[in-house]
Chain A
Amino acid sequence: MQTFELFRAIILKTGFANVTIGHVVMWFIGLFFMYLAIKKDFEPLLLIPIGFSIFLVNMPLAPLTGKGELINLFFHYGLEWEVIPCLIFLGIGALTDFGPMIANPKTLILGASAQLGVYIAYFGAILLGFNLKEAASIGIIGGADGPTTIYLTQMLAPHLLGSTAVAAYSYMSMVPLIQPPIMRLLTTDKEKRIRMKQLRAVSKLERIMYPLVATVLICLLVPPVAPLMGLFMIGNLFREVRIVGRLLKASQDELLNIVTIFLGLGVGSTMQAESFLRPQPLFIFFLGLVAFAFSTVGGVLFAKIMNLFLKQKINPLIGAAGVSAVPMSARVAQKVGSEYDPKNFLLMHAMGPNVAGVIGTAIAAGMFLTMLK
């Protein structure tokens, strides 16, 4: 009898006896993320750690997400302390070529118009019963910028962090699916074939000066996003001065890779069955899609409006790159454009609004923080 009781006690302490339907549902969600990454090649660097983390943290009784436990430490120090979003920006800055934007600064305005979805989703969230801070955190998903979404949500509505971060990164990975139908719908065949003038060469001095000028303007205008923009610009300065190769390599390779692992594990850990399988995250996912779609609409339509006043027409497809998923949305603009004119090279033109979108989303987040925090 004692042996039977011992076995019973042991079995009760295993995960098998504590698995719920919710855990199993979350395993499938984690597997779906990994499927998208491995089979469809959607943002594998992020979706594999996120997917596996979802899988892992939904193992009942596993000491992973409690206070002081392994994945909780990544989440606490990396995301709650907002270290990871800023370090990701350092790496992105080190990888970003601002040359196309410096050569054609009017494309910066497309990065502003592509924030339309942020505000549409913000109103949608209020209609669905979220308060203003929660609505801002949901709306910013439309900026297609994971680190900024995490940064803003952590400050305004930390209880939504898991849902907004996962929605932002999921939709970023689905840019090639979400954007092209909208781009095709909103542009005529003639517009899709517009060829843009080749960009001028940008001098090294301009490239070095740009991060300094941008830091001054953005940090003075929206101080709450100085940590994000400051690291973004210093990363870019490492790239452009060309004398700190070791710092550049560390920023764009080792550091970015390490931080990406912690980011993925930390974000995935917020998707535990008990907190995730409720209507609220489903609303957030829906609103995130709305935000993404309207950001694409805003960028494309504003490019068409700009064409009414410009002598040198711009191809409206590059407006869609104003959402900041760098460089994927620029590649999408190139791909859609080349379907209609295989010799039309839009990629470099699209990089202008693409990097402007990163800055536009940061300014939008900074304004939410200024007015709502």
Chain B
Amino acid sequence: MWGEALRVAIVGFSVVFAGLWMLALGVKIMSLFCKMAGRKQGGTADANI
């Protein structure tokens, strides 16, 4: 039981970190594309659509 418990905790906690790290990366990339789209439209980087 303890082996299984440890496996669940290690895998779970690792995926929480990996998931939020992926999301952080996804947000960075998304912001980059949004800034590019803003510039293409002739606005500033923070232009609203």
Residues of A that sit less than 8 Å from B by CB:
101-102, 105-106, 108-109, 111-113, 115-116, 119, 122-123, 126, 132, 135-136, 200-206, 208-210, 213-214, 217-218, 221-222, 356, 359-360, 363-364, 367-368, 371-372
Contact = CB atoms under 8 A, between A and B. Distances in A.
Interface residues of B, number: 35
Most buried by B among A116, A135, A136, A205: A205
Interface string B17-40: 101111111111011011101100
A122 B46 contact: no
A59 B14 CA distance: 47
A101 B27 contact: yes
A204 B22 CA distance: 22
Contact of B12 (A109, A214, A364): A364
B13 A205 contact: no
Contacts of A135: 5
B12 A111 contact: no
A108 B49 contact: no
Contact of A360 (B8, B11, B16, B25): B16
A97 to B, nearest CB: 14
A111 B17 CA distance: 9
Contacts of A106: 24
Contacts, number: 117
A225 to B, nearest CB: 10
Contact of A105 (B19, B24, B33, B46): B24
Contact of A203 (B2, B16, B46): B46
B26 A217 contact: yes
Contacts of A368: 8, 12
Contact of B15 (A102, A203, A210, A221): A221
Nearest to B8: A371
23 contacts: A102-B31, A113-B17, A115-B13, A119-B12, A122-B9, A126-B1, A132-B4, A132-B5, A201-B46, A203-B34, A203-B48, A203-B49, A205-B38, A206-B30, A209-B33, A213-B26, A214-B23, A221-B22, A222-B19, A359-B23, A367-B12, A367-B15, A367-B16
B30 A203 contact: no
B23 A123 contact: no
A222 B15 contact: yes
Contacts of B38: 203, 205
